[in-house]
Structure 1
């Protein structure tokens, strides 16, 4: 979800329409200014109390993560597009190719190379950030581990469970971090 919204916001940031660009910049600024934990609290606990509607933890966590992720990914991808030499845009326009076609056929294939490593690196941060969602009652790895640690069963002590959870997060995030480094090294070698 966050990637889809980020793609739309990114498109607005590079739009030739100043008003669309301003809307996208405001969206990015606003959601980058709010910590993920605060966003989870606001959407999971604050908004439901204000409007009197019950929001289940899964929905609140999803909305929060989409808003947070889309703002950061949109900025990463805007930067990747900006890294493509401006002459590429000019070449597309000189050949009378439309803005959208130039973006799609000329700019994005090159920008993908610049944006892939930071995108994968940010995915690692988001995976770790999902652990905050247990605060609003979302049953993720963190909440499950907390329940195990509180269970009156031998071997479920916190000093056993929490390191096990850290190992699980490590096993998920480390390969992605290695992939991001390899992609970055490959891009540097091509440059």
Structure 2
């Protein structure tokens, strides 16, 4: 069995870089589209409500692994040549937008109706009402669930290996095959995931406790 040296650890860190990059792209892209989904879900337009409800149902009701397959191979069926990086980024953005949209929809609806009525009484138009009154409170309410989803998204990036994307888990598999030390390699991989996700989980728990204290 080969030893695990600097080159192997460096390769794992390269995989970690792509894991973090994919998480960042998925979370930011999903956040932008998720906000649109949340606003559409809480709009008075029934067509928008039903369309976004269907969108959320599709992505929440199907496995992320299947979504990766559909985007990667489905785009190729229509004649477009898409590399693994772009396909995975699109899939994670769509996936995150559905979940974040529903999380933030719950936050928006949790804001007391009196806040909206007061904003209307002050003559604020829809954009100002949402931007200055509703969203700051809604995002604060939804912060614990948003952090929880971010943790799940980080761990979910391991599924990207199925379409040939080399992130942390796939890098660990490659190093394991080269060194024949699967327990050691995946112990290191698991430790890296833990060191990333555990502080986020603590932050989410702290935010939830602060929210509960503020609501008393």
- Give the alignment's Cα RMSD to 1 decimal: 1.3
Within 5 A, what are the aligned runs for 1:45-56?
A: 45-48=73-76, 50-56=77-83
Aligned counterpart in structure 1 of residue 125 of structure 2, from 98, 105, 113: 98
Within 5 A, what are the aligned runs for 1:53-68?
A: 53-68=80-95
In the alignment, the residues of structure 2 paired with residue 45 and residue 145 of structure 1 have an alpha-carbon distance, to the nearest angstrom, of: 25
Contact 1:117 1:183 in 2 (8 A): yes
Deviates more, 1:123-132 or 1:30-39: 30-39
Q: Which residue of 2 aligns with 1:121?
A: 148
In the alignment, the residues of structure 2 paired with residue 9 and residue 186 of structure 1 have an alpha-carbon distance, to the nearest angstrom, of: 27
Contact 1:45 1:136 in 2 (8 A): no
Measured against aligned partners, the alpha-carbon deviations of 1:104-157 in whole angstroms (never above 9, x if no partner) come to 111112112201111011100000000000111011001111110011x4xx51
Structure 1: gaps (5+ residues): none
Structure 2: gaps (5+ residues): 1-28
In the alignment, the residues of structure 2 paired with residue 51 and residue 19 of structure 1 have an alpha-carbon distance, to the nearest angstrom, of: 28
Q: Which residue of 2 aligns with 1:167?
A: 191
Q: Which residue of 2 aligns with 1:36?
A: 64
- TM-score, structure 1 as length reference: 0.93
How much has 1:53 moved relative to structure 2? 2.9
- TM-score, structure 2 as length reference: 0.82
Q: Which has the higher contact order (CA 8 A, sep 6+)?
A: 2
Measured against aligned partners, the alpha-carbon deviations of 1:146-180 in whole angstroms (never above 9, x if no partner) come to 110011x4xx5111111111111111100000000
State the number of aligned residues: 187
Aligned counterpart in structure 2 of residue 2 of structure 1, from 22, 30, 37: 30
1:24 paired with 2:48, answer: no
Contact 2:75 2:81 in 1 (8 A): no
